[in-house]
Amino acid sequence: MMRNQLSGYGVNMLPIEKPHLELLRQWRNSDFVREQMVSGEIIDEQQQLNWFQNISERQDQQHFIIQYRADYIGAANLKSCDGKPVTEAITLEPGIYIGDERYRSNILAFAPSLVLLDYCFDYLKVNQVTAKVKSQNSAALSYNGKLGYAEVDKDREYTIIALERERYIQSTGTLKNLLSRQRK
Amino acid sequence: MNNQEKLFQAFASALNIELNQVSPELTYNTIAEWDSTAHMILIAEIEGVFDVMLDTDDIIDMSSVAKAQEILTRYEVQF
């Protein structure tokens, strides 16, 4: 299925294609990314290919590689929470990681989330987005808090957070302005 | 106060830290006080102190005190 790229705040989000797979696999297998994942297993080339073939046929998920300037810096996805196609879902679950360590501790790390959330709220018109974050991952919880996410449930292992449009708009105005200025 | 002192003071004020905690090596996200919210306050503080308007690439690149000084030099701030 043909999907369009998303752009904004200095980054492009390109639909994942076969040539991206090896870089994605390297990121996915890094300690930093595996620690954030529900499954931390090492992925081999065949598993990666199987995953790509699976997501290519699915309507309830969209997967992107994040580009900044000439570099790929991370990956993002959107998953439907109700089994419907992403374009018809009422609630979506976005996921993002920055694979390029140069940009992990950088305000640029917010740009792909802003692109994805604008897409969710302004284009797809979802009511709410939600995420499941490891309760120990204080950096991710703090990051999502800056975007306006609020905790809705928590146990020792995972914290469920959710975000609605109005709260997102209120929380991100200044950040959006800084990342939308004139570029060289 | 020279421009380097002004820059250090801007960091101390925006990040709400002691002036002696500011050094050229101080880097984004390496102390709790320099998070994304503080970064936005910092950009506003630096723009006010030096009367400049930073573009987005420079806001992204401003990841340390040393880098801030390097960027401001391009805006004709002399150190």
ipTM score of complex: 0.79
What is the CATH number for A13?
3.40.630.30
Cα nearest neighbour of B41 on chain A: A174
Nearest C-alpha in A relative to B31: A105
Nearest to B29 among A105, A110, A182 (CB): A105
Nearest by CB to residue B60, choosing from A107, A146, A182, is: A107
Q: Is residue A90 part of a domain?
A: yes
Asked whether residue A32 is domain-assigned, the answer is: yes
Measured CA to CA, the distance from residue A164 to residue A178 in angstroms comes to 22
Contact with chain B for residue A175, Cβ under 8 A: yes
Is position A154 within any domain? Answer: no
Q: Which of residues 105-124 of A touch B (CB under 8 A)?
A: 105-108, 110
Report the candidate in A54, A71, A66, A70 with the shortest Cα–Cα distance to residue A95: A66
* Structural domain spans, chain B: 3-74
- Chain B partners of A115 at a C-beta cutoff of 8 Å? none
Does A10 touch chain B if contact means CB atoms closer than 8 Å? yes
Strand partners, B32: none
What is the rounded distance in angstroms from the CA atom of residue A100 to the CA atom of residue A98?
6
Q: Is residue A141 part of a domain?
A: no
Per-residue pLDDT of chain A (184 residues; tens, 9 = 90+): 456 899 999 999 999 999 999 999 999 999 988 888 878 899 999 999 999 999 999 999 999 999 999 999 999 999 999 999 999 999 999 999 999 988 888 899 999 999 999 999 999 999 999 999 999 998 899 999 999 999 999 999 999 999 999 999 999 999 999 999 877 6
DSSP secondary structure of A1-41: -----EEETTEEEEEP-GGGHHHHHHHHTSHHHHTTSS--P
- Domain annotation covers residue A137: no
Asked if A170 reaches chain B (Cβ–Cβ under 8 Å), the answer is no
Name the residue range of residue A49's domain: 6-127
CATH topology of domain B3-74: 1.10.1200
- Separation of alpha carbons B36 and B29, rounded Å: 8
